[in-house]
Chain A
């Protein structure tokens, strides 16, 4: 197997992102698998993107526009 490289976009590991770690992933062009060199995450682009949507679940008000910032 040849060495890992970068994919078309520089995806971060969604599992590490959930614990506040920005870790770039590396890409196996033969298998189409992205892998994290810190944790055990392995996944296709589809799985990475699904993981990123899981990341967003903590942002419960991400789509809300606020017009009041006090509690008066």
Chain B
């Protein structure tokens, strides 16, 4: 099989499943040692294991701390390791149990939120307990999120660990909101597919051996790259009961084609990643409890997990899927991505179309050690999300740090949290786009929906991933401009080149102007941050500078070599540079529009090609 679609199936015997304790136990006093709950939880774990094995799939068993005190759970893990080749790993989820509560005197259960002192104590405790039960240290671990300090400590103390579940894609303010502002998993801005975390920041992939944390990280679930971006992520992933949570099933037939579409679209990503694609399914036992889950009775919960395993099993039988344990995958990943040969720069690319709402919207996600970016073809190829990984921002989280809960990697652009193209009557939103103007009329390419085609090309010896967008027509009063956009992601370059090919201007004498721009700010949530301290510059022979004070100032410079902003709070410099002489400009925002804008304006001719580079650098 030339191409590989890999799945990791992970189960955790959780003695007090999340949700079960509060949902099935509603109206009862809390009893963390409830024997009936423990028995039911083990039964669910056994069912999950059986369903995977019946379909010929091997699993990674992530033992929870609570499960390490349960002889039956330990025996099942040993048995399934011997018989089915399952990996016995260790989860940092599922900490709550009588033993944990007694020892740590807290109801906290998310490892990244503890103080560093407690993180170390808990890691030592659970890893040593694991060793006591199994006679070896695990090779895989994980949680919903693993902060860099935690990973670095684990890798130093337990070097056998080489794989970890380390984030859940775009689980942040949207998930918090969906849960009535009571679910504190705030970690937007990470990769959606496996990566090697840097030692500085888990979200930001390592750029070289020195930055390599020593583990391969996998995301918690494989999530819909369009639906999750603008909705509750926990409805749209390779977690059958999440699909039910989203009510994405036929209530009469109990069928859910969306689940298979989601898996198949991930399979399709092989085409853009050198013949490799990845899925992860990880369903905690709380999602299959006998009391049912929200509107779904137990029978439907069971059916969905049965069907999920059956579909992966069918793909395996057809030679279209390889099942691996987490540690097997870590070895495969380092070899496949070229890391073993010293290349950390191979990006992850994901053109993604709507498979749920019935539109033909298409986005493109790109991730490498220097950035994560989302290009929205429905907005003419505008960049609508941008995370400057190049800064490798050190961002400790947990009690005793500045970020007790907020583990998100900051954005420069986030169209949902900072408006994007459309704002309510005043101000501007974050986006990287362009405007065309003629005789007093102005059209933004955000209003020119189109589609793109992916290709790879070596240009001047450098590998490029290229998006070629279908041409769009901009109709002014009396003049039509036909324009095609191409976007280049040069491997390891920390920039995005956007090329506008002016295919035709219906009136060759018309004075048409192009305005390439980025409107940006910084943040991790929906709410604005203090922009004071940002410096805007038109770089060149006669530089112009604005220190941000919300005064709505601007400056321009013909022939500017670059227009830039230094954002100290996230140690990032962002700039635009042009392929030909143009007028560079910088704009400060104001309190009602806490943004900055960088751009180039240029008169354009028919058949002209004009490019600008969006560059990201670390600035500290």
* Bitwise interface map of A from 15 to 44 toward B, beta carbon under 8 Å scored 1, else 0: 001001111100000000000001000000
Number of B residues near A (Cβ < 8 Å) is 48
Instruction: List CB contacts (< 8 Å) of B451-466 with chain A.
Output: 451-454
Query: Does B120 reach chain A (CB closer than 8 Å)?
Result: no
**Cα separation A72 to B271 with both chains bound (whole Å):** 12
Which of A9, A58, A62, A66 sits near B297, CB closer than 8 Å? A9
- When the two chains form their complex, are residues A62 and B257 in contact, meaning their CB atoms are under 8 A apart? yes
Which of B26, B261, B293, B362 sits near A65, CB closer than 8 Å? B261
Number of A residues near B (Cβ < 8 Å) is 32
Residue of B nearest to A52 (CB): B247
- When the two chains form their complex, are residues B265 and A55 in contact, meaning their CB atoms are under 8 A apart? no
- When the two chains form their complex, are residues B245 and A70 in contact, meaning their CB atoms are under 8 A apart? no
- When the two chains form their complex, are residues B295 and A61 in contact, meaning their CB atoms are under 8 A apart? no
| Chain A interface main SS type | loop
- When the two chains form their complex, are residues B174 and A71 in contact, meaning their CB atoms are under 8 A apart? no
**Cα separation A64 to B261 with both chains bound (whole Å):** 9
* Bitwise interface map of B from 241 to 264 toward A, beta carbon under 8 Å scored 1, else 0: 000010111110001011011001
- When the two chains form their complex, are residues A59 and B248 in contact, meaning their CB atoms are under 8 A apart? yes
Min Cβ gap B291→A in Å is: 8
- When the two chains form their complex, are residues A10 and B265 in contact, meaning their CB atoms are under 8 A apart? no
* Bitwise interface map of B from 342 to 353 toward A, beta carbon under 8 Å scored 1, else 0: 000000000111
- When the two chains form their complex, are residues B27 and A61 in contact, meaning their CB atoms are under 8 A apart? no
> Which residues of the other chain, A, contact B174 by a CB distance below 8 angstroms?
20
- When the two chains form their complex, are residues B268 and A62 in contact, meaning their CB atoms are under 8 A apart? no
Min Cβ gap A9→B in Å is: 6
- When the two chains form their complex, are residues B27 and A11 in contact, meaning their CB atoms are under 8 A apart? no
- When the two chains form their complex, are residues A63 and B180 in contact, meaning their CB atoms are under 8 A apart? no
- When the two chains form their complex, are residues A61 and B268 in contact, meaning their CB atoms are under 8 A apart? no
- When the two chains form their complex, are residues B452 and A71 in contact, meaning their CB atoms are under 8 A apart? yes
> Which residues of the other chain, B, contact A6 by a CB distance below 8 angstroms?
26-27
**Cα separation A52 to B246 with both chains bound (whole Å):** 10
> Which residues of the other chain, A, contact B180 by a CB distance below 8 angstroms?
21-23, 38
**Cα separation A20 to B232 with both chains bound (whole Å):** 6
> Which residues of the other chain, B, contact A65 by a CB distance below 8 angstroms?
257, 260-261
- When the two chains form their complex, are residues B355 and A66 in contact, meaning their CB atoms are under 8 A apart? yes
- With a 10 A CB-CB cut-off, give which of A58, A64, A66 has the most chain B CB atoms: A66
> Which residues of the other chain, B, contact A55 by a CB distance below 8 angstroms?
247
Residue of B nearest to A56 (CB): B247
Instruction: List CB contacts (< 8 Å) of B277-304 with chain A.
Output: 291-297
- When the two chains form their complex, are residues B357 and A58 in contact, meaning their CB atoms are under 8 A apart? yes
- When the two chains form their complex, are residues A61 and B247 in contact, meaning their CB atoms are under 8 A apart? no
**Cα separation A64 to B352 with both chains bound (whole Å):** 17
- With a 10 A CB-CB cut-off, give which of B23, B258, B260 has the most chain A CB atoms: B258
> Which residues of the other chain, B, contact A72 by a CB distance below 8 angstroms?
453
**Cα separation A64 to B291 with both chains bound (whole Å):** 30
> Which residues of the other chain, A, contact B360 by a CB distance below 8 angstroms?
71
- When the two chains form their complex, are residues B247 and A17 in contact, meaning their CB atoms are under 8 A apart? yes
Residue of B nearest to A64 (CB): B257
> Which residues of the other chain, B, contact A59 by a CB distance below 8 angstroms?
248, 258, 356-358
> Which residues of the other chain, A, contact B231 by a CB distance below 8 angstroms?
20
Query: Does B70 reach chain A (CB closer than 8 Å)?
Result: no
Query: Does B106 reach chain A (CB closer than 8 Å)?
Result: no
**Cα separation A9 to B394 with both chains bound (whole Å):** 45
**Cα separation A56 to B355 with both chains bound (whole Å):** 14
Partner-B contacts on A (CB < 8 A): 5-6, 9-12, 17, 20-24, 38, 49, 52-53, 55-56, 58-67, 69-72
A sample of 15 cross-chain residue pairs with beta-carbon separation below 8 angstroms, ordered by A number, consists of: A10-B293, A10-B295, A11-B295, A22-B179, A24-B294, A52-B251, A58-B357, A59-B356, A61-B355, A63-B250, A64-B358, A65-B261, A70-B271, A70-B351, A71-B360
